[in-house]
Homo-oligomer: A and B are copies of this chain.
Amino acid sequence: MLYRKVVLAIADGLGDRPNPILGHKTPLEYASTPNLDRLAAKGITGMMDLIASGIPVGTDMGHLILFGYEPQNYPGRGPIEALGIGMDVRPGDIVFRCNFATVDEHGVVVDRRAGRIREGTDKIADAINGIIVHGVTVYFQPATEHRAVLILRGDGLSDQVSDSDPKAPNDGSPFLRIEPLDLTKEAQKTALVLNSFLLKAHSILKDHSVNAERISQGKLPANFILTRGAGKMTELEPITDKLNIKGCCIAGESTVLGVARMAGFQTVTHSSMTGNMDTNIQLKAKLATESLAENDMILVHLKAPDLQGHDNEPFQKAKAIEMFDEMIGLIEKGIPEDVYLAIAADHSTPCEIGEHTGDPVPVLISGPSIRKDRVTEFNEMDCAYGGLGHLTGNDFVRTLHGFMGRVKKQGN
């Protein structure tokens, strides 16, 4: 079998709908994208539903699929966040996304984000990390700003428990008791352990020196942990092992990095990869092309289009797409002729909606001996006439793995 390599570039939230502000073009149609259009003209294009028509997916699920997993392999957001911040996550761990929050003496959530705390969270986290409750060890680590991740590790635990986070925007709601969501003793034990931990953590945090200093500065103390999105880490074979390849992911966003680690990909990030309009596309392109020497599959991610979609900024989204196009141009120049360059998105984030939708996204593959189709522009309308037709995320990624020579033959 002939083994080949792939660079897959992902524009987060790329897909959109015709927007009156852009003369009824989509941001991708409106943007000037000479590199994407040239690749479309010399490659094969199509439209991709990550899971199936009409189903919106999160960034985590979208990337899970783009890294090569099936949707049913999704372990929940918690395990992905934990991997994203470099925590050691093991099969069977129950993982929660958390906020540092401020509660008053009645348990009312005064602020779900503890005054958007940014500093000292590592010290606060240290004070409650490694506590053992009813034989279960609790691992706790801060993420960006007011965010954190909590892992319960022990026997007989379940992810079928409710959130302590009331999620209401500081409307006087109290934090919620964790409740089991099914009748198993595992769910009951997990709720008991987590309720005990949260109260114990509160008793430790309310008098913590970082909080004492915050209060003295008139800031809200981070004296409570709000949990949500329990997920059980599953036993998942890394995609790199399954295909016997080496992979590398270049991204700034921890969610993407988390999925990459789960998939067995090496991760490369840098503080200049901001996830916003000022992100360092030159560095991303350079790392993508350089890492080809040691790897079979490179996944390079750009967050900016998604953010502009969420903010309903069609012109800014078009600019973010032009930045993506520039990055693609740099990557194309840097890779050998026998390497495939593929373009995809993890979902649509239409400006008019401001959220992820199930609209399909355009995809393209260019590279050696490709069956070139008749499409010459890369956008949501032209790619619907592409030679790949309409396909699922799994189909698209399997097509790439097939071009790499890594899909096992069925039959003999």
Contacts and interface: CB of A to CB of B under 8 A. Distances in A.
A359 B17 contact: no
Nearest to A381: B371
Contacts of A409: 55-58, 356
Interface of A: 1-2, 17-19, 26, 47, 51-62, 64, 71, 74, 77, 229, 350, 352-359, 369-374, 380-381, 384-385, 387-391, 394-396, 398-403, 405, 407-412
A408 B398 CA distance: 26
Contact of A359 (B57, B355, B371, B373): B371
Each complex incorporates copies of this chain amounting to: 2
A394 B405 CA distance: 24
A61 B412 contact: yes
Contacts of A374: 381, 385
A361 to B, nearest CB: 11
Contacts of A1: 353, 355
A271 to B, nearest CB: 25
B61 A410 contact: yes
Main SS class of interface, A: loop
A382 to B, nearest CB: 10
Contacts of A18: 369-372
Given A18-B372, A55-B409, A357-B402, 17 more contacts: A1-B353, A2-B352, A19-B369, A52-B395, A54-B403, A55-B398, A56-B407, A57-B411, A58-B411, A59-B412, A61-B410, A71-B410, A77-B411, A229-B412, A359-B371, A373-B381, A389-B389
Nearest to A403: B54
Nearest to A20: B369
Given A61-B412, A369-B17, A402-B359, A396 B53 contact: yes
Contacts of A410: 51, 55-58, 61, 71, 74
A339 B319 CA distance: 31
Nearest to A406: B54
B411 A74 contact: yes
A266 to B, nearest CB: 23
Contact of A353 (B2, B53, B60, B381): B2
22 contacts: A1-B355, A17-B369, A18-B371, A26-B371, A52-B394, A53-B395, A54-B399, A54-B402, A54-B403, A54-B407, A55-B402, A56-B402, A56-B407, A56-B409, A57-B410, A58-B409, A58-B410, A60-B412, A77-B411, A374-B385, A384-B388, A384-B389
Contacts of A390: 388-391
Contacts of A358: 398-399, 402, 407
Contacts of A357: 402
A345 B352 CA distance: 30
B402 A53 contact: yes
A215 to B, nearest CB: 33
Contacts of A389: 47, 384, 389-390
Contacts of A399: 53-54, 358
B401 A54 contact: yes
A138 to B, nearest CB: 22
A312 to B, nearest CB: 11
Contacts of A385: 374, 385
Contacts of A64: 411
A60 B411 contact: yes
A411 B352 CA distance: 22
A391 B19 contact: no
Closest 7 CB pairs of A and B: A61-B411, A54-B402, A58-B411, A54-B398, A389-B390, A53-B395, A358-B402
Contacts of A388: 384, 390
A373 to B, nearest CB: 6
Contact of A411 (B62, B398, B411): B62
A369 B60 CA distance: 27
Contacts of A403: 54
